[in-house]
Structure 1
C-alpha cells in the first residue's frame, strides 16, 4: 500500500472541500444571524488539515492503483463527514453532540436525508443552506468533481472514479476521464439551475428555491422546514419536485447520450429506463387508487396528488414528504419503504439496489423457470438488446448477497440498542437505501434514538452510498496484503 499518495490525495481533496465552507458565510452576511465565525473556523481547520496531510508528500510521484483508489474514496467520505461536523458543533444555535453532528453531516453527504434536528423553521439560514449544500456536493459525488481537478495537480484519477462509481452501468462518456467528470457535472448543474428556477416560479422564495433544488437534484430529501415540501401546500411546487426527482433518478450517462444526440426517444431504447418508468407507474397508480378506494382522502384529486408525490419521493429514495405517510392505511407505508429497495437507476444520484440490478435478477429468475421447463434450451439474458456476460450476473448476485447479509447484521445490531422491530427494519432500509424517513420512532426524525444507534446508522449510510462493495473490500483482509 502506497500511503504517501493516499495522504497527498486526501490532503488535496480536503483543501478543495474547505472552499465549500465559504458560501454559508455569504448567506450569513445577508441574513445577519451571527454564524460567520463558525464557518470561518471550519474553513481554517479544514484547509490547514489538508495542508498538513499534503505538504509532506507533495513530491510523491508513485502510481495510483485500485487499492489506493478504494482507500482514498472510503477514507475521504469518512474524513469529509468528520470535518463537515465543525459548523454544527460550533454553532450556538444548535448545541449538538458530536454523535448528532456526525450523523447529520454523514446523512447530508450520502444524500440520505435522515436528520436529528427539529425546529428547522427557526434555525439560522446559513446552517440551513449548509445542510442543503452538503447534499448537493454528495449527490454526484465530490470524488467525481475531484477527478476533473486532480490531474491538473499531478494526481491520476482513474482509480478514484472506478472506486466511487461502483454502479454497473457507469461508463466513461468521453475519451478523457476529466472530460467525463466535467460532462456529468454540467448536466448536474444544469438540472440544479432549472430546478431552482422552476421552484421560484412555482412560488418558493429565492432561498427556499435554491436550497430545495440542491436536495431535489441530489435525491437527498433535506428541507428548510420541518414539514418538508408539505410546508408549502402547493400543487405546483409538488409537481416541480416530481419532475426533477424523476429526472435525477435516471442514469446521468443516459442523460448525456440523449443530450448529445438531441433525441428524447433515446431514453426509450434503454432497458433500465423502461423498467424504471414501469415500476414508478405501477407503484404510483396502486398507491393513489388505494388511498382513494379506502376513503383516506375525500376526493380523487387529493388521493392522486399525495399518492403520486409520495410514491415518486420514496421510490427514487429522495425522502421528501408532502404529508405524514406513516399514518396511511394498512400496508402502504411498508410498501413505500420496500419501493426504496429497488431505488433509482444505476449512475443516478439515487440510492437503493438500483433498477438495473433488480431487472437482471428478474430476468435471471425467468431464465431459470424456462430452463426448468426446457432443460436443453440455450437462453441468453439480454439488456439493451445485447447479451449480458456471465461475470456481470455473478457480480449482481454477489452484490445482492452482500446487501442482504449487511441488512440483517445492521438490523439486528439496532435491535440490540433497544429499538423495536418496525423502527429497526425501517431505519436500516432508510439508511442503506439512502432514503431518510422511516417508520416507528424514526417517522419524524432520528433525534430520539440512542448514540450507538446513530453510529451504526452512519456506517449504514456510507455502506449504501458506496454500494457496499467498495467499503466491504476495505474490510477484507486480502485488501491489506502487501
Structure 2
C-alpha cells in the first residue's frame, strides 16, 4: 500500500471538489441570497484541507496500483459525503443536523435521491441548485472526471477508472487511452445535459428549473426543486422529456459513444442488454397502466397511461422522479416497481441496481442449469448475442449477486433492529442500495422520520450500491491489507 501516493491523490481530489462550491455561490449571488456565504466558507475550508493533505507529499510521483485505486475511490466518496454536507449544515435556512446533512449530501453524490428535507419550494435557489449539482457530478462518477484531469497533474487514472465504472466487465475502454475514454464519456454526458435542459425549457420550465432538473434527469438521480417532484408541473410535455432522457441515461454509454462516432443507431438494437432493458421497462409499463386503469386509481385511461409509463420508466431505471404518491397505489404495484429497481439500468450507465446485463446473465445461467438436468453431459455455453462468455464472468456475476443479497439482508435486519417495520426497512434498503430514492411505508414521502442510526446505515448502503458492493467489500478482507 502506497500511503503517500494515496494521500497526494486524495488531497488533489479534495481541492478539485472545493471548486464545486462556487457555482451555487454564484447562483446565490445572482438571486441576492445570503445562502451564498455557506458555500464560500465551504470552498475555503475544502481548499485548505486539501492543500494541507497534499502539500507534505506533493513531490511524490509514483504510479497508483490497483489496491491504491480502491482505497482512493472509497475514501474519496466518504470524504465527499462529509465535506459535501458542509454548506447544507452551515446554512441557517435548513437548520438540519450533521447526520441529516451528510445523508442528503451522500444521497446526492450517489444519485440515490432519498431526501430528509421538506419545504423545497421555499428554499434558497443556491441550496436547490447545489443538490441538483451533486447528482450531476455523481452521475457519471466524479472519479471519472478526475481521471480526465489528474494525468495533467502527474497521476495515472486506470486504477481509479476500474474501481469506479459500473458493470461486470471493467477493463473495456472506448479509446486506447484511459484519459480519452473519460473525456469521451463526459462530452456525451454534457451533451445530453444541455439537450435535456433545452427540452425542459421548451416544454415550459423556467431556465433555472430546466437546468436543475436536467442535472438530476441525465444522472438518473431524482432530486427536484419541489416537494412534489415532476408532479409539481402537471405537464405531459415535461414528463415526456423526462422519460426520453431517463431512458437515454439508463443506456450503456459505450453504445452512445459508438452511435456518436459512427453516426448510426444500428448497434443499439444489436446489443442484447439494450433489448432486454427496453423489454423489462415495457412489461412493467404495460402492467402498471393496465392495473391503474383496472382499479380506477387514476382519472381515466389517459391518466393511467401517463402515470403508468412515467413511473415504470422512472423507478425501473432507479431515477426516482414521481408525479403521484406511487407508494399508496393499490395491490402489488408499489412492490413491483421496487422489484424492478433491483434490475435497474444498463452497465456503464448512470443508473443503479444490479444492472440489466447481470440480470440477463443470471437468467441465462439458470436456463443452462435446467438444460443440464435434461442433458447432463452436454457442453452448453452462455451467450450474450452470439458471443459465448467464459465461466469466469458467470462466476463473477453469481458472486456479485450473492454478495448483494447478503449485504441487503444484513442492513435490512439492522434497520429492523433499530425499530423500523418490515415494509419500511425492506424498501429503504432497496431504495438506497439500488440508488433509487423513494421507498414505501415510513420512507414513502421522505427519510426525515427515521433514526440517525438508520440514516448512517443507509448512507453505507448508498455508497456500496454506487460502487457496486465489491469495491467496498474488498477493503474488509485481510488479504487486501497484506503486503
Residue 200 of structure 2: aligned partner: 199
Please show how residues 35-434 of structure 1 align to structure 2 within 5 Å: 35-170=35-170, 171-434=172-435
Corresponding residue for residue 466 of structure 1:
467
Paired with 2:216 and 2:299, the residues of 1 have a C-alpha distance of 31
Cα distance in 1 for residues equivalent to 2:106 and 2:25: 21
How many Å apart are 1:189 and its aligned residue? 0.2
- The alpha-carbon deviation at position 3 of structure 1 amounts to 0.5
The answer (yes or no) to whether the contact 2:121–2:227 under 8 Å persists in 1 is yes
Question: Distance between the aligned counterparts of 1:85 and 1:288, measured in 2?
Answer: 39
Q: Which runs of 4+ in 1 moved over 6 A?
A: none
TM (normalized to structure 2)? 0.99
TM-superposition CA deviations, 1:187-208 (whole Å, max 9, x none): 0000000000000000000000
Deviates more, 1:18-27 or 1:162-171: 162-171
Give a deviation string over 1:372-418, Cα, whole Å, max 9, x none. Answer: 11222221111131110110000000000000000000000000110
Q: CA deviation at 1:166?
A: 4.3
Partner of 1:3: 3
Report the Cα distance in structure 1 between the residues aligned to 2:330 and 2:13, rounded to whole angstroms: 47
1:444 aligns with 2:445: yes
Report the number of matched residues. 482
1:79-114 Cα shifts (integer Å, max 9, x gaps):
011110110111010111000000000000000000
**Is the CA contact (8 Å cut-off) linking 1:166 and 1:470 kept in structure 2?**
no
Quote the offset at 1:259 in angstroms: 1.3
Question: C-alpha separation between the residues in 1 aligned to 2:98 and 2:456?
Answer: 11
Q: Deviations over 1:94-141 (max 9, x none)?
A: 111000000000000000000000000000000000000000000000
Query: CA contact under 8 A between 2:166 and 2:347: conserved in structure 1?
Result: no
The answer on 1:22 being equivalent to 2:15 is: no
Distance in 2 between the 1:341 and 1:442 partners?
18
Q: Which runs of 5+ in 1 are unaligned?
A: none
Cα distance in structure 2, aligned partners of 1:180 and 1:222: 28
Structure 2's unaligned 5+ residue stretches are none
CA contact (8 A) 2:166 2:349 kept: no
The TM-score normalised by the length of structure 1 is 0.99
CA distance in 1, matches of 2:64, 2:429: 34
Tell which deviates more after alignment, 234-243 or 372-381. Answer: 372-381
Contact 1:169/1:347, CA 8 A, preserved across alignment: no
d(CA) in 2 for partners of 1:80 and 1:322? 31
